[in-house]
Chains A and B, each alone.
Chain A
């Protein structure tokens, strides 16, 4: 997978996560979360696992977590990455 443009998915509502991804020549992940101290590592593991599955090695990824479950994190990141790798209109 290759990122072609900036894209977003998710919201800042409780239980959700707002994800922004954009192309870059390096991999950089920024996480903001009210539960970062307790669950930051777990969230980042979920993110890295998905990136590995998709074969994504570079990109800027910003995650604003609002207490999302793992399945929500995976879903929002999947959507944002698909939108960013789509050659169609900007999402």
Chain B
């Protein structure tokens, strides 16, 4: 479940420690933009130590490494795999070749540190025109890629247009990224909302992203987590409909039926998957427990 993915600067110990209690679905420890050039080594040591020593519970631990074109990237990858990272976020992905290079380096690092090959997942951060136009090939470049994420700030700079709260300048990029992610069956993760003090604006932005098909949103402030979770929580009507689909499927399975219908309409696999996702979101938002699903109100 990746509704909210919170960036944490990799060189700030107090903020890293707070990750143990923040209600984010994923924590992205950043070794890239938020760390000054002279402190890359320090941030790497700090994040690696925290990954080994602290208990982040069920939160997915992600590290944004430095750009593959820098001398830091390979050292970042090796140190993070050694420390047991779940997922690497790759910045400024331009095309499939970037992903294939990272995947090859990861295989080397996994072998060197006794981790199963392929066990480290990737999120590709698309933040250039090249990256957006190549979204589909990036999504399919490796089985490690479990999500495409949009970097709206750098993208706007690359497009040479001002970044606005309305976000029309990144509308095409959002839609293109969602389409590629959905076609590949992976997560579509929206760009962060950058006005830290505008909670309503953040919820509106997240609702808009959800409406386009995004499955979650990057986030630069813990104060935005509540707004994002509210935006990605399904409505009661959606929950009821999804529960009905899942119950019908369960009853059909019990009765040994190959195909199941609900109110005269066939239920096919995409409908069931969508219903299961809605129920998972409802559970994550505290709106549903398994007992409620077992109880048929009819």
Contact = CB atoms under 8 A, between A and B. Distances in A.
B19 to A, nearest CB: 12
Q: How large is the interface on A (under 10, 10 to 19, 20 to 34, 35 or more residues)?
A: 10 to 19
Given A69-B17, A72-B13, A79 B42 contact: yes
A66 to B, nearest CB: 9
B14 A75 contact: no
A15 B12 CA distance: 9
A16 B42 contact: no
A79 B44 CA distance: 9
B196 interface: no
A79 B17 contact: no
A11 to B, nearest CB: 8
Nearest to B51: A71
A9 B52 CA distance: 20
A10 B42 contact: yes
A15 B42 contact: no
A13 B41 contact: no
Nearest to A91: B38
Given A16-B13, A16-B14, A71 B52 contact: yes
A78 B45 contact: yes
B45 A68 contact: no
Contact of A13 (B12, B38, B54): B12
B105 interface: no
A9 B49 contact: no
Interface string A1-26: 00000000110011110000000000
B48 interface: yes
Chain B interface size, under 10 / 10 to 19 / 20 to 34 / 35 or more: 10 to 19
A47 B137 CA distance: 48
Nearest to B45: A75
A71 B55 CA distance: 12
Contacts of B41: 79, 82-83
Given A13-B12, A71-B49, A71-B52, A76 B42 contact: yes
A90 to B, nearest CB: 11
Q: Which of B13, B49, B50 has the most CB of A within 10 A?
A: B13
Given A14-B14, A16-B14, A71 B38 contact: no
B46 A72 contact: yes
Interface string A57-70: 00000000000111
B266 interface: no
Interface string B155-166: 000000000000
Nearest to B52: A71
B14 A71 contact: no
Contacts of A82: 41
Nearest to A15: B14
A9 B42 contact: yes
Interface in B1-49: 12-14, 17, 38, 41-42, 45-46, 48-49
Interface of B: 12-14, 17, 38, 41-42, 45-46, 48-50, 52-54
24 contacts: A10-B42, A13-B13, A13-B14, A14-B14, A15-B13, A15-B14, A15-B17, A69-B13, A69-B17, A69-B53, A69-B54, A71-B49, A71-B50, A71-B53, A72-B13, A75-B42, A75-B45, A75-B46, A78-B45, A78-B49, A79-B42, A79-B46, A83-B41, A91-B38
Interface of A: 9-10, 13-16, 68-72, 74-76, 78-79, 82-83, 91
Question: Closest 9 interchain pairs by CB?
Answer: A15-B14, A71-B53, A71-B49, A75-B49, A75-B45, A72-B13, A75-B46, A79-B42, A79-B45
